Amino acid sequence: MDSPVGSRSGGTFINAELAVEYGLTDRGGRTIRSLREARGAPLWAAGGTTLKAT
């Protein structure tokens, strides 16, 4: 089992960033770029149950 999974429980994450962290690519070896800059960070922090302060 992945040791950081428990620390991510209940969080909201950007799939493209998780894929890079875990070394996942599509069949052609390409990665999907994160849209964090265009759309902002997720609203929920890892393990959090309230909105992050801005």
* Nearest-angstrom CA–CA distance, 18 and 12: 11
Q: What is the pLDDT of residue 41?
A: 77
Q: Give me the pLDDT at residue 49, please.
A: 55
Residue 30 lies inside a defined structural domain of this protein: yes
d(CA 20, CA 49): 26
pLDDT tens readout for residues 15-41? 898 899 889 999 999 998 888 888 887
Residue 40 Cα to chain centre, angstroms: 12
Q: Is the model more confident about 19 or about 42?
A: 19
* Global pTM exceeds 0.75: no
CA distances from 8 to 11, 25, 30, 33, 47 (A): 5, 21, 25, 21, 6
- Residue 29 lies in domain: 5-39
pLDDT for residue 3: 66
pLDDT value at position 10? 74
| Residue 25, domain member (yes or no) | yes
Average pLDDT value over all residues in the chain: 78
Domain count for the chain: 1
Token pair 């069949």 is found at 27
Q: Is residue 47 one of the residues assigned to a domain?
A: no
